[in-house]
Amino acid sequence: MRAEPVLLSRDAEGLFWMARYLERVENLARLIDVVQSFESPGREAESWSALVAIMSDQDKFETAEGAGDPETVRRFYLLDQTNPTSIPFCLEYARTNARTLRPLISTEMWRQINVFHRFVAQIQPCDLEGDRLSRLCNRIKESVQTHTGITEGTMYRDQGWQFYQLGRLIERADQTTRLLDIKYRLLVPRDREARRLTELTMWNAVLRAAAGYHAFKRLARAEFSAEDVAGFLLRDPSFPRSVLLSVRRAEYHLDELRRIHHLPHANDAIEQAEYLREFLLERPMQEVLEGDLHGYLDRVQILLSELAGATGRAFFRDWRPGATTAPEEQGQGQGQVQVQTA
């Protein structure tokens, strides 16, 4: 038996991106579901154009009206195979990665992605109407959760697992910042009491979309504030979709790569994760909210993308090994010769 199977850089990258795209699919389904619950009579356009804004997709619509037309937007994210931010596109990408990874992932993982992919490719315009939309979003969400469960139960815990987890966690943190951002993209009534009620509804919907509603209720005071919700989503130490916990877990997996799998190149990425974690805890939440929350979230997104970049430079395809020394084989049956990079 070999101590540890080697992992191709390309496959490490494939695992990272497969996990990222699947996490993105789940979060997009959550976002669409929450937008639908924000939708109130006469104000549909606002809700759907908010979704377009947080996905940074405004440019892809010819007119502002198009970006606010519920049906157009729904089709854009649930049916359009050519839109890189749509669910079918992301799932196609995840499956293509899974296809290249078939020697590494379990047969059960591959089979489930394959069946899920077929389901999504067959979504019809009528599936986006009325109460069917919410059911569709739920089914998509649950399919990714099924994937997660199968993966947890069947995937071999070599370095590939660490890269899979990194992709998933970085994407999850990024998506949570977007979910929080959506609240700030929506207009609220000027009247104080109406505004309080509207905001309460919105926060509840955001928490529900993030599957954090009940946990939050157990923690929060009866009269909770925006600060409490933002703080919960950004830096609760135990909430599985909080940005802080995702970053901490990413840090853990990078550390595993260094300690257990002896990959010294993990250091840069670890430093990047440490910096991001400190950034999240640096300022009191109240100060963040009084300032520019959107700008703050943007900054978190940039730091996450830098973390992904550092991981890529250390291990993936764009990582070019430095000067190599190629020691002659000694012929003593010690297995393959490992070439250390300078």
Q: Is 99 in the site for other proteins (CB under 8 A)?
A: yes
**Please, how many CA atoms are within 13 Å of residue 310, restricted to the half-sphere of its CB?**
23
Q: What is the dihedral of CA 181, 182, 186, 189, to 10 degrees?
A: -80
Minimum CB distance to other proteins, residue 199 (Å): 45
The residues, any chain, with a CB within 8 Å of residue 285's CB and separated by 6 or more, are 227, 230, 231, 234, 235
Options 42, 103, 130, 237; binder of other proteins; rule CB under 8 A: 103
Q: What are phi and psi of 270, to 5 degrees?
A: -60, -45
User: Of residues 308-337, which lie at the interface with other proteins (CB under 8 A)?
Assistant: 315, 317, 321, 324, 326, 329, 331-337
For other proteins, the closer of residues 126 and 326 by Cβ is 326
Question: Count residues contacting other proteins (CB under 8 A)?
Answer: 41
Confirm or reject binding of residue 64 to other proteins (CB under 8 A).
Answer: no
Minimum Å gap between C-beta 73 and other proteins is 23
What lies within 8 Å, CB to CB, of 34 at 6+ separation is: 179, 182, 205, 206, 208, 209
DSSP result, 123-183: --GGGGSTHHHHHHHHHHHHHHHHHHHHHHHH---SHHHHHHHHHHHHHHHHHHHHHHHHH
Q: Which of 6, 200, 260, 302 binds other proteins (CB under 8 A)?
A: 6
Indicate the residue among 122 and 332 with the shorter CB distance to other proteins: 332
Contact predicate 245/273, CB 8 Å? no
Minimum Å gap between C-beta 326 and other proteins is 5
For other proteins, which is the closer residue by CB, 83 or 301?
Answer: 83
Burial class (CB in 10 A: 0-12, 13-18, 19+), 82: exposed
To other proteins, the closest distance from the beta carbon of 172 in angstroms equals: 22
Token pair for residue 192? 């104080």
Query: Nearer to other proteins by C-beta: 9 or 198?
Result: 9
102 binds other proteins, rule: CB under 8 A: yes
Q: Which is nearer to other proteins, 106 or 134 (CB)?
A: 106
Choice from 58, 145, 238, 341 touching other proteins (CB under 8 A):
341
The two tokens of residue 296 are: 């703050």
Binding mask 241-280 for other proteins (x = CB under 8 A): ----------------x---xxx-----------------
Q: What is the CA radius of gyration of the chain?
A: 22
**Nearest to other proteins of 79, 243 (CB atom):** 79
Q: Which residues make up the interface to other proteins (CB under 8 A)?
A: 2, 6-12, 96, 99-100, 102-103, 107, 110-111, 114-115, 159, 163, 257, 261-263, 315, 317, 321, 324, 326, 329, 331-341
